[in-house]
Amino acid sequence: MNPSTEGAVLQWFERALDQPADERRAWLDAQALPEWLHLRVMRLLDAEAGIGDFLEQPAAAPEPDGFPQLGERIGNYRLASRIDSGGMGVVYLAQRADDAYDQQVAVKLIRPLHLGANAAFRAQLIARFENERTLLARLGHPNIARILDGGTTASGLPWLAMEYVDGISLIDHCDRNGLDVEARLRVFRKVCDGVQEAHRHLIVHRDLKPENILVGADGEPRLLDFGIARMLDAGETGSAEHLVTSLTAMTPAYASPEQVRHEPTTTRSDVYSLGVILYQLTSGIRPYELAGLSPAQAERTICDTRPRALRDALRSAPLDDAERRRRMAGLDGDLERIVARAMHKDVERRYGSAQELADDIRRHLDGRPVLAHPDSATYRLRKFVGRHRLGTALATFATLAILGAAGIAAWQARQAARAADDMRQVNAFLMDVLSMSDPFNSGGELTLSQALDGAAERIDGHFPGRPDLSAEVRFGIGYSMVSRYRLEQAETQLERARQESEAVFGRDDVRTIRVVEGLAGLRHEQGRIDEAIALYHDGIARCERAGLRKDPVYLYLVNNLGMLFMTQDRYDEADAMLQRTLEIWRASHDGGEAGTDHANLLSNLAQVAHEKGEHARSDQLYRQAQAELESLFPAGSPDLAIVLGNRGQLAEDMDDSDGALALYRQSLAMRERMFKGDHPSLVVGLGNVARLSAEAGDTATALETALRGAEMADRVYTGPSGRHASAWATLSAARLAGGDTNGAAEALRRARHLLAAVEPPTPSVKSYLDRVAARLCAAPGAQAADCAAP
């Protein structure tokens, strides 16, 4: 039997073990498995029951080959009793046996049941076990069970000795001690601390659940069972580790959508599992009931079903009325939003780390605004009142005495009615957007991007006489259109948004300035460089007049103007603007942690240093930016892909062609993961790989990627663009490297035609076309008319 078949058997066996012991057979019968698979799993369940008896009474059954008996010594420890077992391993309580000192430990071994698997599968199981031992050795934290020792038995089986936690699972601890919601959150924050420590060492647990979190008599939770954890810098596809973990990795009830779809996992996958645990910890039940579901049904439930609100779940939880009321008093909208953000189906919309989740819980416990809540002045005021009840009460009393309660109440009523009406209008518009993607309404299933493009035409009908609402909706849709390169549609929305915003909010309101920044970016993409520069300067001046130097829009305006100068090869001006951006960032962050903006700023400064020939400075800045982005986005991001590509260009200029090509390939692979359809970033990535592959003599790869890039550029760039011309010049170079002189000449003519429409033409692109033309002129059979500059 091959490893994949063994894996299927083991996967169903582990799912059966998740069911109550007396319900496992009935559950398995209900799964409609193939007869051979059903029979194999049933035999494993029978063997599991037999091993349980054997472990308690070893003389009653034959010992599995090579598996230690109770009372036997392993390393410096003697096995005393069986504590627990999971799908892959079995854990014993063991006593120090060398008389050095008195110590109890937990010793973990591979399940004896799996030792009879074929050699390949057994080797994979052992590799996974040894991986856990390696990862645990890197961790030292009060909320993670420590590894104390490890080795190999006489028969070659790996073992590890861990700190023995004499405790119970997280849920049981909270229930048995009658902890209220606030106390549960304080314990849970410590769990997040342990997870964050693993993430800090670039380790993703991937099987977080209450049973893997034991709470000792001291009240400290400790994470256990890193059996399917992995290093973030380890490849996930095609490796032996991936083969093993793909068989059994995860407990479905706590697994993230990307895990059940067998997609790459990141630290945010663990954040999702923490969200499920928090949901269960506060409401009394899990968000999804998966018992009896097939794998396909379970996947649809986890990936597509929205869990009930915490309060609704709490009402149906198996709790007595007094406990239900006590927990209900501890739930509020902020906690609902924290759980919802942690469990968001979209990976990028979850908390970025376990630390962020823990920090938001701390804010909630302190009565401060949480990040999961949409920010507003009213929300912050309510939180301020909650933290300063006495002072607020006195101030309110004085205000009421002066202004009169009746007038205040009437004003508040009008404001509340207006806000409610605004919310209804916006919600109605959002529902219209969503309904457009419904195939019953549209005649075919639309993407969200298509639905947004269609919804843009309905803004006037949804917000008649309300330019204050339509301006912000137009800005959001217009900005999205620029990022998706719908430039003509974006221009319509952003110009209207500017007119409406200036009329309603004024020229120097931050909402208006954001639209100006969006328009400047649009003009840049359209090749209308002088207009873009003027708009950036205008936006910067408005910010300074309005005292908005610490608002993010000010930083974006200065940074993006620097980047525009760089694309025009105006490097000294670009450097000056980006240095100014760095000063703005430092002033507004006051020594706080770096984030995406800081990493991108470093990358931009590195690019300018590169263009100015300051290679050592550029390399140092790129590496710093890459490290910050990798810590923020372990699974990759568009920004990180750009940094990798830029590092490839730097390596190329430093005559490291092999290193450059490796970086280009890494960058392209990440871009293809991030952008599923056509995108300018993919055009750039394809061009880099094609160009260097041609120079390395790999003409097949060069031609394939260059042709993809040129064809995609035709679809992406609807207006004049130097990058469009560059893509066709790369195709010319690839064809020339493959000996197709006529095809190279044809592609170069297309590139020149495209560049002629760009005003002013980008000097670096023109220089690249000239270099390709020079190589074409030197090729046998080239015509002078084809290679000479026009």
Residue 192 has pLDDT above 70, yes or no: yes
Supply 669's token pair.
């692979």
Please report, for the chain, the start and end positions of each structural domain, with discontinuous segments joined by +. Answer: 3-163, 169-369, 675-790
pLDDT band at 134 (very low <50, low <70, confident <90, very high): low
Residue with tokens 């609704």: 312
Q: Which residue has the tokens 């939003």?
A: 337
Residue 138 above 80 pLDDT? no
Write the CB contacts of 510 (distance below 8 Å, at least 6 apart in sequence): 546, 548, 551, 553
Q: Are 463 and 694 in contact (CB under 8 A)?
A: no
Evaluate if residue 632 carries a pLDDT over 70: yes
Confidence of residue 11 (pLDDT cuts 50, 70, 90): low
Give residues with Cβ within 8 angstroms of 116, minimum separation 6: 64, 65
Structure confidence at residue 243 (pLDDT): 33
Q: Is pLDDT at 690 greater than 90 in this prediction?
A: yes
Domain 3-163, what architecture? 2-Layer Sandwich (3.30)
Band of residue 55 on the pLDDT scale cut at 50, 70, 90: very low
Other CB atoms closer than 10 Å to residue 617's CB: what's the count? 15
The mean pLDDT of 350-379, rounded to a whole number, is: 75
* DSSP codes, 237-282: SSSHHHHHHHHH---GGG--HHHHTTPPP-HHHHHHHHHHHHHHHH
pLDDT of residue 585: 82
Q: Tens of pLDDT along 80-110?
A: 888 776 546 678 888 888 766 778 888 887 7
Q: What's residue 107's pLDDT?
A: 85
Judged against a pLDDT cut of 80, whether residue 2 lies above it is answered with no
Instruction: Give the residue-averaged pLDDT of 436-442.
Output: 38
Contact 165, 147 (CB under 8 A): no
Contact between 232 and 226 under an 8 Å Cβ cutoff? The reply is: no
> Which DSSP state fits 144?
B
Tokens of 534: 């003027």
> pLDDT of 167-176, one tens digit each?
888 999 999 9
Record the tokens describing residue 626, joined without a space: 């890459």
Mean pLDDT, residues 505-519 taken together:
90
- The pLDDT value given to residue 175: 92
Asked if 207 is an active-site residue, the reply is yes
Question: Greater confidence, 198 or 170?
Answer: 170
What pLDDT does residue 79 have?
A: 87
Band (376; pLDDT cuts 50, 70, 90): very low
Of 207, 334, 575, 786, which is the active-site residue?
A: 207
Question: 215-224, 522-531, 734-743, 778-787 — which one is most confidently predicted on average?
Answer: 734-743
Q: How confident is the model at residue 189 (pLDDT cuts 50, 70, 90)?
A: very high
Q: Are 199 and 271 in contact (CB under 8 A)?
A: no
User: Does CATH number 1.20.120.1780 belong to domain 169-369?
Assistant: no
Helical (H) or strand (E) element with 160: strand 158-163
Say which CATH topology domain 675-790 has.
Answer: 1.25.40
Confidence of residue 18 (pLDDT cuts 50, 70, 90): low
Helices then strands (H, E): number in the chain? 36, 11
The pLDDT value recorded for residue 108 is 81
Model confidence pLDDT, tens digit, residues 221-271: 998 876 554 554 444 433 333 333 333 445 788 889 988 887 878 888 899
Q: Above 60 in pLDDT, residue 327?
A: yes
Would you call 482 helix, strand, or coil by DSSP?
helix
Q: What pLDDT score does 251 carry?
A: 75
Q: What is the pLDDT of residues 768-779, one digit of tens each?
A: 898 999 888 888
Tokens in use for 677? 């359809």
**Predicted pLDDT at 619:** 93
Per-residue confidence (pLDDT) for residue 8, from 0 to 100: 61
Q: Identify the band that residue 597 occupies on the pLDDT scale cut at 50, 70 and 90.
A: confident
- The average pLDDT across 470-476 equals 76
* Res 440: pLDDT: 33
Task: Please give the Cα distance from 762 to 758 (Å, whole number).
Answer: 8
Mean residue pLDDT across the chain: 76
pTM, rounded to two decimals: 0.45
95: helix, strand or coil: strand
> Is the Cβ–Cβ distance between 371 and 363 less than 8 Å?
yes
User: Which pLDDT does position 701 carry in this prediction?
Assistant: 94
In the predicted model, is pLDDT for residue 323 greater than 80?
A: yes
CA distance 76 to 412: 73
The per-residue pLDDT for 283 is: 92
CA dist 414 and 420 (Å) reads 10
What b-and-e string marks burial along 34-69, b requiring 16 or more CB atoms within 10 Å of the CB? eeebeebbbebbebbeebeebbeeeeeeeebeebbe
**How confident is the model over 642-652, as pLDDT tens digits?**
999 999 999 99
Total residues belonging to the chain: 790
Higher-pLDDT residue of 683 and 481 is: 683
Percentage, residues of the chain above pLDDT 70: 72
pLDDT band at 272, cuts 50/70/90? very high
Specify which of 20-24, 30-34, 236-240, 554-558 reaches the highest per-range mean pLDDT: 554-558
For 575, phi then psi, to 5°, come to: -60, -45
Task: Give residue 86's pLDDT.
Answer: 55
For residue range 544-588, what is the model confidence (pLDDT) as tens digits?
Answer: 999 988 888 898 899 889 988 888 878 889 889 988 988 888 887
Mean pLDDT of 195-218: 83
- Over residues 375-396, mean pLDDT: 43
Strand 203-204 versus strand 230-231 pairing type: antiparallel
